[in-house]
């Protein structure tokens, strides 16, 4: 495989994937580079893997080349694994993460249940005429009792990682790249593609 099209509009994710796959000589392009626009794809799956597959398959049919897609989110055990696949849509796309994060802390406090939580990242690679490859990795932690840290995005300021005694928003980029769900999934993908060639 010489080239992979990434079915994402997120430039940060595309940059991370590029950095990893450059090392094995695979050129990474965004779907916008190839089609000139970002197709609007409805995430109708019930799991992270299903949603990653829907995105990768839809774009593969449009470009007829290998396509990689990912889907990620936060599962909070005390909230029956919510927000889960609805992480970006939970409480509305336009609600700030300061509000969403405080709401999660309040709900977990009120539940009296264990504070365990995890970020999940699923990836799907679809190649024309081949069986899709899927990967799912997690980043295990806890919901902190307050918002802390300036790095990262989304739910990082309430996601406490006990081994480093920090929230994910207090971790450096290097630390997050060592432990995160997305970094682990990318490392697995790198290994699979390296063995494939
Ligand atoms: P998507 O994979 O782009 O659909 O992102 C799903 C949502 O999950 C994001 O908008 C964030 O709310 C959340 N999320 C996924 N990964 C992370 C992370 O590494 N840190 C913080 N929030 C995350």
**Tens digit of pLDDT for each residue in 105-161?**
999 999 999 999 999 999 999 999 999 999 999 999 999 999 999 998 999 999 999
Indicate whether 167 pLDDT > 90.
Answer: yes
The mean predicted confidence, pLDDT, of the chain is 94
User: Does any ligand 1 atom lie closer than 6 A to the CB of residue 161?
Assistant: no
33 is catalytic: no
* Cα distances (angstroms) measured from residue 150 to each of 15, 74, 91, 121, 158: 21, 18, 22, 22, 11
The pLDDT tens digits for 59-99 are 999 999 999 999 999 999 999 999 999 999 999 999 999 99
The pLDDT of 172-195, averaged and rounded, is 91
Assess whether the C-beta atom of 141 lies below 6 angstroms from ligand 1.
no
Catalytic hit among 22, 33, 70, 71: 71
Ligand 1 atom at shortest distance from the alpha carbon of 10: 3
Quick one: average pLDDT of 24-28? 91
Ligand 1 centre to CA of 116 (Å) is 17
Q: Give the pLDDT score at 131.
A: 95
What is the pLDDT, as a whole number, of residue 197?
Answer: 67
Residue 23: the pLDDT is 84
**Ligand 1 center to 129 CA (angstroms):** 31
**Ligand 1 within 6 A of 74 CB?**
yes
- Percentage of residues of the chain with pLDDT beyond 90: 84
Best of 8, 87, 90 for a ligand 1 pocket test (most atoms within 8 Å of beta carbon): 87
Q: Measured from the CB, is residue 96 less than 6 Å from ligand 1?
A: no
Does the predicted model carry a pTM greater than 0.75? Answer: yes
Tokens of 47: 């799991």
């Amino acid at each position: 495989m010489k080239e992979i099209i990434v079915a994402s509009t997120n430039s940060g994710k595309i940059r991370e994937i590029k950095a990893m796959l450059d090392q094995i000589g695979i050129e990474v392009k965004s779907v916008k580079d190839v089609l000139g626009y970002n197709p609007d794809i409805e995430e109708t799956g019930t799991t992270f893997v299903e949603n990653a597959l829907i995105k990768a398959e839809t774009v593969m049919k449009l470009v007829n080349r290998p396509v990689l897609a990912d889907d990620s989110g936060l599962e909070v055990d005390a909230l029956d694994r919510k927000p889960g696949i609805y992480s970006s849509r939970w409480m509305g796309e336009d609600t700030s993460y300061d509000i969403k994060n405080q709401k999660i802390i309040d709900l977990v406090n009120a539940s009296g249940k264990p504070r365990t939580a995890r970020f999940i990242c699923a990836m799907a690679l679809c190649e024309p005429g081949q069986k899709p490859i899927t990967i799912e990795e997690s980043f295990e932690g806890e919901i902190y009792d307050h918002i802390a840290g300036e790095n990262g995005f989304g739910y990082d300021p309430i996601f406490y990682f006990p081994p480093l005694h920090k929230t994910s928003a207090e971790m450096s980029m290097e630390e997050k790249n060592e432990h995160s769900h997305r970094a682990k999934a990318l490392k697995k993908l790198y290994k699979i593609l390296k063995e494939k060639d």
